Amino acid sequence: MVQGGPPLHGEISAGGAKNAALPILVSSLISPHWCILENIPQVADVATMCRLLGVLGATTKWEGSRLWIRTESLKSSEAPYALVSTMRASILVLGPLVARWGEATVPLPGGCAIGSRPVNLHIDGLRALGADVRIAHGNIHVQATRLRGARITLDPSSVTGTANLMMAAVLAKGTTVIENAAQEPEVSDLAAFLVTRGARILGYGSNQITIDGVDTLDAGEHQYTIMPDRIEAGTYMIAGAATRGDVTVRMACPALLDTLCTPLRDTGAEIYVNQDSIRVRMQRRPSAIDITTGPSPGFPTDLQPQMSAFLSFADGVSHIKETVFENRLSHLPELRRMGANITTKRNEARISGVQKLSGAPVMASDLRGGAALILASLAAEGESTVSRVYHVDRGYEHIERKLSLLGANIRRIKKARNA
Ligand code: UD1
């Protein structure tokens, strides 16, 4: 429940990046040695991933936000449907399982609220690496005695596709080249982590990644700090601007947010980037701007819903074009219930800014769309209730606590399921 109006003021810290933590956790399947992971975010998707890895045979120990994880022996090579159906990133276990243990079974994830989201690139890539892949009874079965290096082109570029194939190729015989690889920083974080463990990976961060397969990763404990969550940080930056507040987000590597700073400045926000923080101050009604999402280094699709909520009360007409997912505008009808003037055509939206949104009961249907509705509620006049916030808990650590620290009038009416 949110009482809109108060400008957000103050300082908070970004947590660890969910989308880097998930593949890094999964990569613990590749070697029997302990990984000590720092800055793991306490979000529901991480809890789900730890549960899934536990079913497969991983041992985990928590010490605050530090997690010890290793997989000495395999308990099962099958990911349970109950877990895969709540988190599509479960598909990431395919590559590491088949690379180290020679077999894996993962239920087909199916569609989700933001589109049909096929997994053909994961399957075709594993086949190119020499695996025998069969689809039966709703499951993907993969088998291989030893994967062998190959040249793989991803079309379109896929974040978890790149991560999955990179993890598979680490133990393959020979060299793998992934063309049109995802350049998202979370993929680079996974690659950097694997390199600290003895993997031979070059070119990450560019659109061509080369992996020279090794027989095993290095022995011994490996410690690694997960990169900060640029999407979480970006959400709080937009929230600061949306409430005409003054918010500082502490995080290592503020340059991760360059793609957001430019359009946010165009709306009239003042942005001050320091060595380990970004401050956003907004003193007027935002100006309308146009946004087109794209794979990195384009504008992140994971910040599009929050940005469209912000632009719904901008001065003028904004256009949003979502090019990554086919159905990522489902938060817009909910924003209309708060008074926004928005028309949509396929993946595009025309937002004619209104003076103020008005609080209303609204419903989240996906993670970032839910964050956008909370953000709209903070800026709206009066009270809003956002339901199905379990979507938001998948990727935001204590969102109501962090927003309260900034002076938001927000409280959780029902307890979180997993967070
Ligand atoms: C990841 C992120 C998600 C983010 C998205 C895009 C994680 C856990 N999730 O999702 O937060 O919104 O990147 O930045 O990191 N595609 C295919 N075939 C495939 C795989 C993907 O056609 O086999 C298409 C998708 O439908 C989509 C596009 O590729 O249109 C990009 O999707 P992808 O990068 O794979 O997204 P995810 O990795 O699922």
Q: Which atom of ligand 1 is nearest to the CA of 295?
A: 14
C-alpha count within 13 angstroms, C-beta hemisphere, residue 66: 8
> Whose C-alpha lies nearest to ligand 1, atom 23?
119
How far does the centroid of ligand 1 lie from the alpha carbon of residue 331, in Å?
19
Instruction: Check if 45 has its Cβ closer than 6 Å to any atom of ligand 1.
Output: no
Confirm if 186 and 23 have CB atoms less than 8 A apart: yes
**Residues sharing a CB contact under 8 Å with residue 206, sequence separation 6 or more, in sequence order:** 181, 183
Pairing mode, strands 35-38 and 222-225: parallel
CA distance 213 to 92: 18
Q: Does the active-site annotation cover 253?
A: no
Please give the Cα distance from 313 to 320 (Å, whole number). Answer: 14
CA of 183 to the centre of ligand 1 (A): 12
Pair of tokens at residue 158: 């896929």
CA 101 to ligand 1 centroid distance, Å: 26
Distance 322 CA to ligand 1 centre (A): 13
C-alpha 66/C-alpha 45 separation (Å) is 16
Identify the residue whose C-alpha is closest to ligand 1 atom 26: 117
Q: Which pLDDT does position 109 carry in this prediction?
A: 83
Q: What is the pLDDT of residue 11?
A: 98
User: Among 58-62, 178-182, 276-280, 412-416, which is the least confidently predicted range?
Assistant: 412-416
pLDDT at 110 exceeding the cut of 90: no
Q: Which of 198, 192, 278 has the alpha carbon at shortest distance from 238? A: 278
Joined together, the tokens standing for residue 76 give 């099962």
Confidence (pTM): 0.96
Q: Residue 397: CB within 6 Å of ligand 1?
A: no
pLDDT the model gives residue 415: 64
- pLDDT of 115 reads 63
Question: In this model, does residue 418 exceed pLDDT 60?
Answer: no
Q: What mean pLDDT do residues 203-230 have?
A: 96
Give 10's contacts (C-beta < 8 A, 6+ positions apart).
Answer: 247, 248, 405, 406, 407
Give the per-residue pLDDT at 118. 87
* Secondary structure class of 115 (helix, strand, coil): strand
> Best mutation site among 160, 293, 367 for ligand 1, i.e. most ligand atoms within 8 A of its Cβ?
160
What are the phi and psi torsion angles at 248 (to 5°)? -115, 125
Q: What is the DSSP string of 162-196?
A: HHHHHHHHHTSBSEEEEET----HHHHHHHHHHHH
**Under a CB-based contact definition with an 8 Å cutoff, are residues 36 and 222 in contact?**
yes
Kind plus residue range of the DSSP H or E element containing 152: strand 151-153
**Across 373-399, average pLDDT:** 97
Residue 332: which of 324, 316, 320 has the closest Cα?
320
Ligand 1 neighbour 156 (Cβ under 6 A): yes
Contact 33, 243 (CB under 8 A): no
Give the gyration radius of the chain's Cα atoms.
21
- Name the active-site residue from 50, 112, 253, 261: 112
Complete domains list, the chain, with CATH: 2-15+228-410 (3.65.10.10), 18-225 (3.65.10.10)
Residue 22 beta carbon below 6 angstroms from any ligand 1 atom: yes
pLDDT at 77 > cutoff 50: yes
Reply yes or no on whether the pLDDT at 20 is more than 70: yes
pLDDT digits (tens, 9 = 90+) for 226-266: 999 999 999 999 999 999 999 999 999 999 999 999 999 99
Read off the pLDDT of residues 167-186 as tens digits, 9 standing for 90 and up. Answer: 999 999 999 999 999 999 99
Handedness of CA 315, 271, 394, 124 (dihedral sign): positive
List, for residues 346-378, the tens digit of each pLDDT value: 999 999 999 999 999 999 999 999 999 999 999
| Digit-coded pLDDT (tens) for 258-314 | 999 999 999 999 999 999 999 999 999 999 999 999 999 999 999 999 999 999 999
Tell me the mean pLDDT in the region 53-82.
Answer: 94
Residue of 26, 106, 116, 158 to test ligand 1 pocket, by largest number of atoms within 8 Å of CB: 158
Q: What's the CA-to-centroid distance between 155 and ligand 1, angstroms? A: 11
Instruction: State how far the Cα of 365 lies from the Cα of 370, in Å rounded to an integer.
Output: 7
- Cα 314 from chain centre: 27
Residue matched to tokens 């877990």: 83
Residue to substitute in 88, 159, 180 for testing ligand 1 pocket (most ligand atoms within 8 angstroms of CB): 159
Q: Does the CA dihedral 165-166-170-172 come out positive or negative?
A: positive
Q: Which residues pair with 321 in a beta bridge?
A: 292, 348
Residue 111: pLDDT band (50, 70, 90) is low
Task: Give the pLDDT mean for 37-43.
Answer: 96
Euclidean distance between CA atoms 31 and 35, whole angstroms: 9
* Ligand 1 centroid to residue 158 C-alpha, Å: 5
Torsion of CA 385, 326, 242, 296, to 10 degrees: 140
- Distance (Å, rounded) from C-alpha 238 to C-alpha 8? 11
Q: What is the mean pLDDT of residues 47-74?
A: 94
Q: In what helix (H) or strand (E) does residue 390 lie, and over which residues does it extend? A: helix 390-393
End-to-end CA separation in angstroms for the chain: 18
* Tens digit of each residue's pLDDT (9 = 90 or more) over 311-348: 999 999 999 999 999 889 999 999 999 999 999 999 99
- pLDDT of 280 reads 98
Residue 64 pLDDT greater than 50, yes or no: yes
Q: Cis (ω within 30 of 0) for the bond into 263? A: no
3-state helix, strand, coil in the chain (%, to 5): 35, 25, 40
| pLDDT of 419 | 44
In whole numbers, what is the pLDDT of the chain averaged over residues?
Answer: 95
Q: Is 5 helix (H, G, I), strand (E, B) or coil?
A: coil
Do residues 384 and 361 lie in contact, with contact meaning Cβ atoms separated by under 8 Å? yes
pLDDT value of residue 117: 75
